[in-house]
């Protein structure tokens, strides 16, 4: 019993001392995510049409503004009721949702030339059905939540990335304001 109490005490001190933050930062600093090089020659890459990416935030009672980074570079931010768009070359890209109140949410996305993509910002799904339903109603997003590159970081993230189907995304964009 004493061993259990000691372990609980050590875990409590670890968490209070920022151990989870240190651990998640160490995990994030581990292998760096770089876009993978494509096998196409450089001349073909230059002639490939860029993809058009929309980032939007549909709803949220207390949703904070979320910044978006692609491959580590800030490209914009969204708040409730707004969207913005960027053009990106085809390839594998690391998209990061930056929330000042919590950990970042990162996902790798394969972007194809000339395609249009819609990404929503919403509350992460936790797996608990009742909690997910409540979170979605309050500040969720349409679409399918993208898989995080780090389950540890996503567990401490207050915002997640959702990929929305093109027809639904176009309809949603029509109801929002450009930023």
Q: Could you read off the pLDDT of 72-116 as tens digits, one per residue?
A: 999 999 988 899 999 999 999 999 989 877 888 899 999 999 999
Mean pLDDT calculated for residue range 10-30? 43
Tokens standing for residue 9: 């005490």
What is the rounded distance in angstroms from the CA atom of residue 97 to the CA atom of residue 128? 22
Report if residue 35 sits inside a domain.
Answer: no
What value does the mean pLDDT take over residues 23-46? Answer: 44
Residue 41 has pLDDT above 50, yes or no: no
Q: Is residue 17 part of a domain?
A: no
Residue 16: its pLDDT value, please?
46
**Does the residue 94 lie in any domain?**
yes
The answer to the question of residue 16 being in a domain is no
Domain at 121, CATH number = 2.60.40
* Total length of the chain: 179
- The domain tally of the chain equals 1
Residue span of the structural domain in which 133 resides:
50-178
pLDDT at 9 over 90: no
| Residue recorded with tokens 């450009």 | 178
Query: Is 70 within a domain?
Result: yes
Q: Which of these ranges, 35-44, 64-73, 129-138, has the smallest mean pLDDT? A: 35-44
Judge whether 15 lies within some domain.
Answer: no
Q: Is residue 132 part of a domain?
A: yes
Average pLDDT, the chain: 75
């Amino acid at each position: 019993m004493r061993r259990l109490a000691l372990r609980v005490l050590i875990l409590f001190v670890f968490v209070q001392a920022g151990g989870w933050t240190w651990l998640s930062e160490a995990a994030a600093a581990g292998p760096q995510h770089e876009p993978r090089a494509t096998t196409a020659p450089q001349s073909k890459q230059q002639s490939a049409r860029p993809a058009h990416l929309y980032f939007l935030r549909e709803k949220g009672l207390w949703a904070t503004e979320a910044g978006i980074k692609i491959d580590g570079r800030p490209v914009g931010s969204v708040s409730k009721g707004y969207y913005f768009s960027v053009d990106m070359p085809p390839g594998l890209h690391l998209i990061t949702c930056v929330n000042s109140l919590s950990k970042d949410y990162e996902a790798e996305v394969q972007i194809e030339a000339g395609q249009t993509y819609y990404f929503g910002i919403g509350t992460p799904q936790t797996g608990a059905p009742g909690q997910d339903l409540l979170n979605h109603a309050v500040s969720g997003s349409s679409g399918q939540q993208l898989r995080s590159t780090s389950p540890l970081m996503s567990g401490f993230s207050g915002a997640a990335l959702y990929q929305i189907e093109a027809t639904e995304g176009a309809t949603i964009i029509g109801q929002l304001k450009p930023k």
